[in-house]
Amino acid sequence: MEWEDLARELSQQTDSKIVLLVMDGVGGLPADGKSELEAARKPHLDALAKAAVCGVSDPVMMGITPGSGPAHLALFGYDPLKFQLGRGILEALGSGVEVGRDDLVARGNFATVKGGLVADRRAGRIPTEENARICGYLNEHLPRHAGVEIRVFPGKEHRFVARFTAEGLSDALSDADPQSEGKAPIPTMPLGLEASKASEVVNRFLADVAAVLKGEAKANAALLRGFSKFPSIPTMQELFKLRPAAVANYPMYKGLAKLLGMEVIGVGGETADLFDALEKNWADHDFFYVHYKKTDSTGEDGKFDAKVAAIEALDPFIPRLLALKPDVLVVTADHSTPSSLKCHSWHPNPFLLVSPTAGVDDVAVFTERACAKGLLGRFRSISAMPLMLAHALKLQKYGA
Amino acid sequence: MEWEDLARELSQQTDSKIVLLVMDGVGGLPADGKSELEAARKPHLDALAKAAVCGVSDPVMMGITPGSGPAHLALFGYDPLKFQLGRGILEALGSGVEVGRDDLVARGNFATVKGGLVADRRAGRIPTEENARICGYLNEHLPRHAGVEIRVFPGKEHRFVARFTAEGLSDALSDADPQSEGKAPIPTMPLGLEASKASEVVNRFLADVAAVLKGEAKANAALLRGFSKFPSIPTMQELFKLRPAAVANYPMYKGLAKLLGMEVIGVGGETADLFDALEKNWADHDFFYVHYKKTDSTGEDGKFDAKVAAIEALDPFIPRLLALKPDVLVVTADHSTPSSLKCHSWHPNPFLLVSPTAGVDDVAVFTERACAKGLLGRFRSISAMPLMLAHALKLQKYGA
């Protein structure tokens, strides 16, 4: 029996409430002997760690650096090695693009092609309004082909989402993106026999775009990557009998949450917005995923001090969270983003869990090395959901 | 390759002796800052922890609360998600009822039905002798039906085991027990097409019992649950080349032990009985499972102080165990039973292992939070058996 089957069998709906606060990429590495978490002044998070049981968790397995998709899937109780989500589908859902079972979606860039070579992969980061105008023009002027419907949806700057609707479109396609400038645009290639129709549809679209946009100074070509279809994945309602909500600002995280059946509570980019939304929607859900992005983006930028500041900026909001009296509160990350590496990493996430049934350990601060000595030990992130459900008394006994 | 295949291939018979002392449900949660283990005075167990390597173990996986069956299976080296045992089979085997391949067994209650409704699910907890009289009467007077043999076996108070012998009886049957009083008795329902014969046999039996016992004041009906057949499970001899023995008092644990091929050494309810039996049978076996129940039953009753006392009551017997000079001694639990929860829980079990090859760690007391810092870390209980076999030098090298 697998964890999903166990979850379906043992989970029960109750009134208890769970909050999963994801400080994206918060784990880091020391500079001058202290990691970002060790350098930050964060009295409320440290008090939480003292009241909590702590541990460290590996998103996928030891040594594996995950993307945001697999890292979040694991936290939500889905095996990231079993459920693989294309970035295109996450971007599409997060941007509010409706995606059905016959749809194939991809992330797109408008690009500048000169003399047959990609001169700028981002078309000079054209303004977002310009992007909207171009997408509108394409949707109106792209030639129609029988049995296929295509729409493009503008994103920020040069980014867009392409949606292809037709029967029998496979997403087993290579990226149509040379990845670097000075090279010729490349077509997509089918990665299996079943994708020959999809590759023809996509490559004809790329040629059509170049023809329709040939008069544009900057955005005169499209690059596509992350082809994906709506995956077959059970919802959190089905698996865990939760009424889940996602409080998040960025499209990717909102898209993933929607895919898993969460109600997406979109918020602005201010830290206070997260807690305003949490308070406002507290009565309507029993599981809240709250996504704090700044610890990751500062880490990706390689800014140690800015990441420390991002941790310190979140800390004063912890009392507002506690005032809601969640039955289970977990603070952790999806993956680590050490500012010294300027990217996601494989280091385990610090993890704390507060609940009346948590027990005690001797961890007194919320840092990587303190959490590693906690009662929870080292575990895979996919265990976070069974742990949260158990402490919320939402799991029945297994066997007699 | 799976662990079972590895075990078959690598295990070897040797003269070394292993003792697995299960303090049922010993793990707990703090009251006034101390768990039951932290509050107990237990110098011998603490001295063991000091001499041992320690860790904490999850019976099934993090967050999952197991029944006694799956929790013990894991400790004995069987994947509890692969081998699922009905409670009926465990109760039957533990009560000394012979169960063969064509037998279907169930746990029964005698109940009182009045005006078509269950007035008392336990028939006023009739005396055990009364139960024996009624079972004898039933075995003599139940009408015979061609191709089916049925016997009932008395247990304590109102409990009995029913055994149905016929070809093609499936155990895919729902419980014939309304679970609460004031409701009508319910028949069993087949949970698959293959169980239609079994459901007919069982429901005819329930009607026959009601007819035969209609003159009884209290025990005038039967409720049945936990239908099960003899499972297909390899023995500990087959997998581990052990000559295993179980020293236990309660039917469930004796039943499970018998199922796995252990010789069951039944003992009385006194703590000293366990150690008397161990000493007496020491020469005849190389693996001893010793089951101490009081730490669980006091936890289930929600009695913190009584659970502390149960821990303290076992402690003075540890020197008698050590005097036998086992090559490997493990003290742990099947699952936790915090007295604050009054039931089994998902919290990991403290675990200690003493052996000349154990190595050292800094754990000096046998408690949940101390063990969590031990050299063994946090692991699934199914690793207990490979660890015990290894330290007993009963596992050969894997690969060249």
Provide mean pLDDT across the span A357-383: 95
What is the model's pLDDT at position B266? 84
Q: Which residues of A touch B81 (CB under 8 A)?
A: 1-2, 6
What is the model's pLDDT at position B47? 98
Provide mean pLDDT across the span B312-323: 98
Looking at chain A, the whole-number percentage of residues with pLDDT higher than 70 is: 100
Q: Does A390 touch chain B (CB under 8 A)?
A: yes
Give residue-wise pLDDT tens across range B125-181: 999 999 999 999 999 999 999 999 999 999 989 999 999 999 999 999 999 999 889
Side chain identity at B87, as an amino acid letter? Answer: R
Tokens 């992350």 correspond to what residue?
Answer: A226
CB contact (8 A) between residue A398 and residue B341: no
Is the pLDDT at B258 greater than 90, yes or no? no
Window B:329-348, CB contacts with A under 8 Å: 338, 340-341, 343-347
Q: Which residues of B touch A390 (CB under 8 A)?
A: 62-65, 345-346
Q: Which residues of B touch A398 (CB under 8 A)?
A: 60, 64-67, 70, 80
Cα–Cα distance measured from residue A166 to residue A104, given in angstroms and rounded to the nearest whole number: 8
Band (A11; pLDDT cuts 50, 70, 90): very high
Band (A119; pLDDT cuts 50, 70, 90): very high
CB contact (8 A) between residue B67 and residue A399: yes
Helices (H) and strands (E) in chain B, counts: 15, 13
Residue A176 gets the label, from left (phi > 0), alpha (psi -120 to 50) or beta, of beta
CB A335 within 8 A of CB A295: no
Cα–Cα distance measured from residue B24 to residue B289, given in angstroms and rounded to the nearest whole number: 12
Provide mean pLDDT across the span B268-277: 96
For residue B336, give the nearest of B91, B36, B31 by alpha carbon.
B36
Provide mean pLDDT across the span A252-263: 90
Provide mean pLDDT across the span A218-235: 92
Which of A94-108, A165-179, B89-103, B323-337 shows the lowest per-residue confidence on average (mean pLDDT)?
B89-103
Give residue-wise pLDDT tens across range A143-187: 999 999 999 999 989 999 999 999 999 999 999 999 899 999 999
Band (B86; pLDDT cuts 50, 70, 90): confident
Is the pLDDT at A250 greater than 90, yes or no? no
Provide mean pLDDT across the span A259-281: 95
Is the pLDDT at A85 greater than 90, yes or no? no
Is the pLDDT at B232 greater than 90, yes or no? no
Tokens 């029993």 correspond to what residue?
Answer: A286
What is the model's pLDDT at position A231? 83
Tokens of B333: 């639990």
Band (B73; pLDDT cuts 50, 70, 90): very high
Cα–Cα distance measured from residue A256 to residue B70, given in angstroms and rounded to the nearest whole number: 35
Helices (H) and strands (E) in chain A, counts: 15, 13
Backbone angles phi, psi at B71, to 5 degrees: -65, -40
Q: Which residues of A touch B369 (CB under 8 A)?
A: 359-362, 375
CB B250 within 8 A of CB B291: yes
Task: Give the angle A391-A310-A312 at the CA atoms, nearest 5°.
Answer: 75
Average pLDDT, chain A: 95
Residue of B34, B58, B62 to mutate for A, most A C-beta atoms under 10 A: B62
Which residues face A18 on adjacent strands?
A287, A328
Provide mean pLDDT across the span B40-54: 98
What is the model's pLDDT at position B23? 98
Backbone angles phi, psi at B319, to 5 degrees: -60, -35
What is the model's pLDDT at position B255? 85
Looking at chain B, the whole-number percentage of residues with pLDDT higher than 90 is: 89
Band (B89; pLDDT cuts 50, 70, 90): confident
Provide mean pLDDT across the span B71-94: 88
Give residue-wise pLDDT tens across range B182-225: 999 999 999 999 999 999 999 999 999 999 999 999 999 999 99
CB contact (8 A) between residue A10 and residue B64: yes
Band (A21; pLDDT cuts 50, 70, 90): very high
Quick one: angle between helices B3-10 and B384-391, nearest 10?
A: 20
Tokens of B46: 């603490």
CB contact (8 A) between residue A357 and residue B66: no
Alpha-carbon distance B185 to nearest alpha carbon in chain A (angstroms)? 22
The chain A residue lying nearest B73, using CA atoms, is: A399
Provide mean pLDDT across the span A272-299: 98
For A288, A291, B140, B253, the CA distances from A26, given in Å and listed in that order, are 19, 12, 73, 47
What is the model's pLDDT at position B216? 94
CB B57 within 8 A of CB B380: yes
Band (B398; pLDDT cuts 50, 70, 90): very high
Q: Which residues of B touch A397 (CB under 8 A)?
A: 65-67, 343-344
Of all helices (H) and strands (E), which one includes residue A296?
A: helix A294-300
Alpha-carbon distance B296 to nearest alpha carbon in chain A (angstroms)? 15
Which residues, including other chains, have CB under 8 Å from residue A185's CB and lie 6 or more apart? A111, A113, A118, A176, A178, A206, A221, A223
Provide mean pLDDT across the span A90-109: 85
Residue of A400 and A324 predicted with greater confidence: A324
Looking at chain A, the whole-number percentage of residues with pLDDT higher than 90 is: 89
Is the pLDDT at A6 greater than 80, yes or no? yes
CB contact (8 A) between residue A357 and residue B338: yes
Band (B362; pLDDT cuts 50, 70, 90): very high
Provide mean pLDDT across the span B370-394: 97
Which residues, including other chains, have CB under 8 Å from residue B50's CB and lie 6 or more apart? B363, B364, B365
Average pLDDT, chain B: 95
What is the model's pLDDT at position B96? 76
Tokens of A314: 């979140």
